[in-house]
């Protein structure tokens, strides 16, 4: 059985920049999308082609599904430019990761006196650098959406809760002394939410990385046991896992974006 490294192996370097096999895979995915975009765009001038019809069906389906989460087509169209390409990027990366040759064609290299097999290509999502970068960008985008769609003050108070202290004197004047207990608790809940944002990043990145990497290990193990027929059901499983992981990641981002686009009070009212 070939050793499958938990991190993406370096293939070559450009000055100080090390190009890993996962990065090469990501470049192939990007190239694939560029080609697809050109093909679809060129087909626009002609009568609706099958590919264009498929893309329209996919987009309409995705937007309708997005509507079921956001509850508003306008909002869905605001988030779709970010979420939909992420879904496509993860999906294609995952499916490209199970293509023949990915993870199996490589070279042998001496490392610490031990000969190891280094594949030229590796699923982009089986590199934590990729998933963590995606998760950081996704979580940051939810905060940008929160600031732009609510207001900087409202978004800040979602976590820091300065308004909670400002409303204490007003409530005391109204003889509502429960505010002295409730608002400090709310303030600490806000602080926990800050930690929650880091947890979001970690869970998004590790879930995707873990599932895809585990799939690679599983396929590698099966292929090393018996190269013919045995990996087929697992390959089909990986096709499904690849889709599900892309779907989960993008749906979670959409949900986070939707939550952040509502003010804290609106969100609490919606859940009440």
Partner 1 sequence: MFHLDWKLMIAQVINLGIVVFVLWFIVFKPLAKKISQRSQEIEKGLENAKQSQALLDKSQKEYLDVIMTAREKAKVIFDEAEKSALKEKEKILLIAKEESEKISKITKENLLDEKEKIMKSAKKDLADLVVLALEKTLGKAAKDGIDKDLIENSIRDIANTKDNG
The site for partner 1 (CB under 8 A) is made up of 6-8, 16-18, 20, 23, 26-27, 29-30, 33-34, 36-38, 40-41, 44, 52, 55-56, 59-60, 63, 77, 80-82, 84-86, 88-89, 124, 127-130, 132-134, 136-137
Closer CB to partner 1, 16 or 174, in the complex: 16
**Closest CB 21 distance from partner 1, rounded Å:** 11
What CA–CA distance (Å, rounded) separates 216 from 224? 12
Closer CB to partner 1, 76 or 183, in the complex: 76
Closer CB to partner 1, 143 or 186, in the complex: 143
**Closest CB 176 distance from partner 1, rounded Å:** 48
**Closest CB 9 distance from partner 1, rounded Å:** 9
What CA–CA distance (Å, rounded) separates 193 from 40? 42
**Closest CB 17 distance from partner 1, rounded Å:** 5
What CA–CA distance (Å, rounded) separates 52 from 54? 5
Other beta carbons within 10 Å of 18: 13
**Closest CB 88 distance from partner 1, rounded Å:** 6
Q: Whose CA is closest to 131, among 214, 70, 194, 62?
A: 214
**Closest CB 158 distance from partner 1, rounded Å:** 25
**Closest CB 234 distance from partner 1, rounded Å:** 24
Closer CB to partner 1, 7 or 107, in the complex: 7
Closer CB to partner 1, 141 or 183, in the complex: 141
Closer CB to partner 1, 34 or 180, in the complex: 34
Closer CB to partner 1, 123 or 157, in the complex: 123
Nearby residues of 38 by Cβ (< 8 Å), 6 or more positions away: none
């Amino acid at each position: 059985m070939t050793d499958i490294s938990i991190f993406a192996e370096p293939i070559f370097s450009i000055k100080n920049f090390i190009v890993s096999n996962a990065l090469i895979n990501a470049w192939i995915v990007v190239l694939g999308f560029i080609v697809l975009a050109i093909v679809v765009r060129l087909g626009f001038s002609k009568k609706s082609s099958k590919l264009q019809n498929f893309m329209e069906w996919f987009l309409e389906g995705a937007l309708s599904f997005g509507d079921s989460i956001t509850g508003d087509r306008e909002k869905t169209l605001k988030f779709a430019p970010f979420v939909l390409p992420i879904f496509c990027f993860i999906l294609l990366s995952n499916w490209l990761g199970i293509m023949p040759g990915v993870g199996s064609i490589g070279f042998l290299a001496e490392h610490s006196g031990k000969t190891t097999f280094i594949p030229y290509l590796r699923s982009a999502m089986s590199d934590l650098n990729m998933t963590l970068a995606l998760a950081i960008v996704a979580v940051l985008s939810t905060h940008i959406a929160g600031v732009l769609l609510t207001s900087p003050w409202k978004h800040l108070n979602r976590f820091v809760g300065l308004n909670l202290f400002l409303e204490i004197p007003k409530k005391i004047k109204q003889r509502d002394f429960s505010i002295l207990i409730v608002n400090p608790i709310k303030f600490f809940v806000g602080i926990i939410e800050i930690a929650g944002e880091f947890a979001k990043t970690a869970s998004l990145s590790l879930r995707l990385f873990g599932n895809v990497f585990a799939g690679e290990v599983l396929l590698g193990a099966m292929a090393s046991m018996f190269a013919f027929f045995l990996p087929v059901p697992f390959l089909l499983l990986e096709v499904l896992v690849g889709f599900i992981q892309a779907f989960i990641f993008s749906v979670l981002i959409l949900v986070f974006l939707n939550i952040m686009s509502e003010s804290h009070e609106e969100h609490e009212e919606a859940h009440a």
